[in-house]
Structure 1
Amino acid sequence: MASEKSDKASEMSRTTTLDEASSLLRQLAGNGEAGESVKCVFRRLQRKLTGWSPGRIRDVWYRDRRVRIRAEEVEQLRALAEPTQNAGTDNELTELRNRIARLERLLEAANSPIAR
């Protein structure tokens, strides 16, 4: 009985790690070009991921339950995905600043007296 619980906990942990790895892999792939095949995406990822075989990338991408993710692989994915996440935050901040500046100009124009 205790063995069954530990097996289930181990399976859940493995699934969570696999889900995280797949999510990071998809984040690394980014937005592909229109008409780009998944095979091309896998090739692009293989150039970024040293030591990963095409089959390994495919299995993690599709969350194959037979795959065991090693800790160093997850760390590699996190390290590669981190700059992408920061770049997205910088873009969002720049867009927000531009939007605020535009809204301030509109507000100033609306508050200025109209000469007739």
Structure 2
Amino acid sequence: MKAIAWTYIAALVAVTFAHLNWQAELGNPFDVYRAVALCLAGMLARLAYPQSPSFTCLLMIGSVSALCFSHFLANGNYGSPMDIIVAMTAALWGIALGAMLSRLISPASKRTALY
């Protein structure tokens, strides 16, 4: 799961650098597809590191920062502060969804017979 999460985050940064216009744009002030992608990245990171919520949050802060910087290198602008707020919020929603899924999956595999 860790390899999937890291590969997905690296793919998000790589798509930002893509010259073939692989980035989906829905208009200003922020990109909805990017928010959904960051939500999925947060969920995958939380599922990959279920025992480390602080590391997951730091990973997503670093990922959003790397995406903003790569967006600057690819397009020449940072975007608005609202873009960063939406990206961080989407990543945090993803972490919350991943925590919920982790709790749903984890108890089922750790059940022991008390009889």
**TM, length-normalised to structure 2:** 0.35
Q: Which is higher, the Rg of structure 1 or of structure 2?
A: 1
**TM, length-normalised to structure 1:** 0.35
